[in-house]
Amino acid sequence: MKKIGIVGGVAWSSTMDYYSGICRLSERKHLEQGASGVPSMPEMSIESLDLARAISYIGTDEDDESWSQFDDYHRAALQRLEASGAEVAVIASNTPHHRFEAIVRGVGIPVINIFDAAARETARTGAGRVLILGTPVTMKSQKIREAFANHGIDATGLDDDSAIASTVALIEDLQRGKCDDAFERLAQIAIAAFDRQGLAERIVCLACTELRMGLHAQGDMPVSERGGVTYVDTTAAHIRALLDQALG
C-alpha cells in the first residue's frame, strides 16, 4: 500500500476525520476480503497547517496574484509530504481545491481532488442538480461547478446573503465544537434553499469538511439520506478515492 500524505489543520477536526476514516475503511476492506490477522494500515504523514494563517491568505478571484501566499502555503506542505516519502496525498479541506491546479504545480506525487471525488459519488445517485453548501469561496467556485458538470450535474450555491451568513456561522460553530443543534440548522438551510431556488432534487453536497459533523458522520458512507434530503459527504468521498489510489 502506498504511503499517504495529508495536508491537515484546515481545520484540525477534519484532519482527525481523515485519519480515522482512512483507518476504518482499511479495516473494512480487510474484513470484506476475508483476510485474517491484523489489518494492514497505510503509512501516513501529516502536515498540519495553521487555519488562521491559511484564511488570512485567501485572495480574490479577480486578482490571481492575490492567492500567491495561499497557494504557496499549501504547496509547500505537499512538497514536505513528498520529501517524507508520501506517494499519494490529499488536502483535508474543500476550500483549497478552488486553487487546486495552482497549488499542485510542481508537486511530484498524485494529489486527489476532493471536488472530482464528490462529483463521482453524486453521479452514482443519478442526480442532475445539486446544492453546494460550504464556505463562500467554495459555494461560488467555478472549479467545483466544472467538476460536477463533467459528470452531467448542475451544481449551484446559495443565492441569498442571509442563508450564506447562516452557513458560515454554522461552520464556525462546528469548528469550535458546538454541534448540539447542527443537523437541525443544516437541514433548515438546505430545505429553505430548495424552496427559494426552485430545486426539485433535494440533494446537498456538504462541500466543507466541518459540515459533515452536522450529520454525525463517521467517514465511511459518502451518500446518506435524512429527512427526505440526500447528503453527499465530500470527506467520505475523498477518503474512498484516496484509498483506491493508495491500493493501486
Predicted confidence (pLDDT) per residue in 158-175, tens digit: 989 999 999 999 998 888
What single letter denotes the amino acid at residue 102? A
Its pTM stands at 0.91
What element of type H or E holds 158?
none
In terms of pLDDT, which residue wins out, 31 or 83? 83
In this model, does residue 216 exceed pLDDT 70? Answer: no
pLDDT reported for residue 217: 57
Beta strands in 11-112 (DSSP E): 44-48, 88-91
Structural domains in the chain, sorted by start: 4-113+239-246 (3.40.50.1860), 115-234 (3.40.50.1860)
Contact 148, 155 (CB under 8 A): yes
pLDDT reported for residue 219: 53
In this model, does residue 245 exceed pLDDT 60? Answer: yes
Residues 110-162 pLDDT 10s: 999 999 999 999 999 999 999 999 999 999 999 999 999 999 999 999 989 99
Beta strands in 120-228 (DSSP E): 129-134, 154-156, 203-207, 223-226
pLDDT reported for residue 212: 85
